[in-house]
Amino acid sequence: MTQFNSDAPHERLKDKVRVNGQVEVRLEGSCYIEWWVSGRRLREATTREDAVECARHKSVELRAIRAGLIASPEPSPVAEAKTLSLSKPSPTASC
């Protein structure tokens, strides 16, 4: 789990996690920028090195959209749910 460092929230990421009571440094994992638009959660993958800069850029972009300085980008289409509908088997005649 990657978290922002509490003493320098805008400068670096914190890689220390507690696992079974022991503090460990974890470098694996993925970094995502996450935000909400019209009740939908949106996520964008980013590299570990660029995560803080990407978060700053997205924050500035969202503030400019809210202030009316720039137009919001077209929303991406929502993917349809891929579910299978299983019909009940027809009853068999008993002898």
Per-residue pLDDT of the chain (95 residues; tens, 9 = 90+): 444 444 444 445 567 788 898 888 877 777 889 988 888 999 999 888 888 899 999 999 999 999 999 988 776 666 565 666 666 555 554 44
Question: Looking at this protein, which amino acid is placed at residue 95?
Answer: C
Per the listing, tokens 């974890």 go with 26
As a whole number of angstroms, the distance between CA 3 and CA 53 comes to 15
pTM equals 0.51
Pairing mode, strands 22-25 and 31-37: unpaired
DSSP state letter for 61: H
